A = this chain, B = another copy of it.
Amino acid sequence: MQTVNQLMEKIEYAIRSHNLVWNSQPPVNLYEPVAYAMSAGGKRIRPLLVLLGCQLFSDEVDNALPAALAIEVFHNFTLLHDDIMDHADMRRGRPTVHRQFSDNAAILSGDAMAFLAYKLLLESRTGEMQQLTGLFTRTALEVCEGQQYDMDFETRMEVSTSEYIEMIRLKTAVLLGCALKAGAICGNAGDDSADGVYRIGINLGIAFQLQDDLLDTYGSEVEFGKKIGGDITANKKTYLLINALEMAPPAVRAELTGWISRKEFSRDEKVRAVRDIYDLLNIREKTEQLIRAYTGDAMELLDNLPVDEIRKEKLREICLKLLNRNS
C-alpha cells in the first residue's frame, strides 16, 4: 500500500517522464502551450483518485498510471477551452493559455490534449480496454454537456437547484467518478465494485463543487489565494445564488435581483450586500448541510465496498481533506 505522498510523487514523475511538462517535439507552437498548461501544477486530484481507485483493489498501482495521466491531461484540455469561453485571464497564478499565447493556440493545443489523453489511456495495461475507453468517452461528452448548461445558465434568470446539481454532476462530478472507476478497472475490480466506486466519485464531485461555491463567498482570502466574492461580482449562478433566489421572500428577492441587474456598482459593497442576504436566508448553513449529505453518501458507499478496510483509508482521508479544504 502506498501513501498519498508516494502516489503524488509517482504522478509528478510520470508527468515528467511522459514529456508533458517539457516537450521539444515539433511543431513547437502546438506542444509548448501543452507543456505550459501541464507545468502549472494544480492539485492533481483526478490522477490521485485514479491511483486510489486502483489501490482499493490492487497493489499494482502502476497499471493505473497511464489512465491517471490521461484524465489529468483531459482535465487540463477542458481548462484551456473553458478559459477561452469564459474570457478568464488568470489560472493558478499565471496568465491562461489563450492570454499567454493566443485563442488559436488554446483551441488547437487543447484539441491536441484531448487526443493525447486518449493516447495515454490506450497505453494502459488492462484486459478491459474497451470498457475503459467507453467510460472515458461517455464522461468526456458529459463534461461538454455540463459546460454547455453552465453557459446556458449565465443568460437564464430562472434556474432551479436541481438543474444546478445536474449541471455540476455533468461538468465536475462525472470526471471524478470516471477517475475512480478507471482506477478500479485497472485494478481488476468487478463490475459491481467499479460501479460503486463511480458513485462515490459522483457524490464526492458534487460535494467538491458545492464547497468551491462556498469558498468563493465565505473562504478566507489568504488561504483561498484569490479575492473573495468573484462569483457574486460576476452574477455567477452558483448554488448559493440559485438557492437564495428560490428561498427569498419577495422583498429580499427584489433586493437580490436589483444587485444582479445593476450595471454599475462598488465591488465590495455588492459582495457585502449579497452576502448579507445569503446570511439572512441561512444559505451558508444550507449549503454546508448539502455538502455533508453528499459526503455522507460517498462515505457510506465506501463503507459498503467489499474490500479490506485498510485499503479504504487513504481514499477516505483524501475525501475528507478535499471537503474540509480552505482553498
Interface residues of A (CB under 8 A from B): 26-27, 29-30, 81, 84-85, 103-104, 107-108, 111-112, 114-116, 118-119, 122, 129-130, 133-134, 137-138, 140-141, 144-145, 147-149, 151-152
Contact = CB atoms under 8 A, between A and B. Distances in A.
Copies of this chain, complex-wide, total 2
10 contacts: A27-B148, A30-B144, A30-B148, A81-B111, A84-B107, A85-B104, A108-B147, A111-B111, A112-B141, A115-B144
Contacts of A149: 27
Contacts of A111: 81, 111, 114, 144
A29 B151 contact: yes
Contacts of A152: 27, 29
Q: Which 6 A-B pairs rank lowest in CB-CB distance, beginning with the nearest?
A: A30-B148, A115-B140, A112-B144, A27-B148, A118-B137, A85-B104
Contacts of A144: 30, 108, 111-112, 115
Nearest to A123: B134
Contact of A81 (B107, B129, B134): B107
A98 to B, nearest CB: 11
Given A108-B144, A129-B130, A137 B151 contact: no
A218 to B, nearest CB: 30
A284 to B, nearest CB: 30
Contacts of A85: 104, 107-108
A137 B122 contact: yes
Nearest to A25: B145
Contact of A108 (B81, B114, B133): B81
A137 B119 CA distance: 6
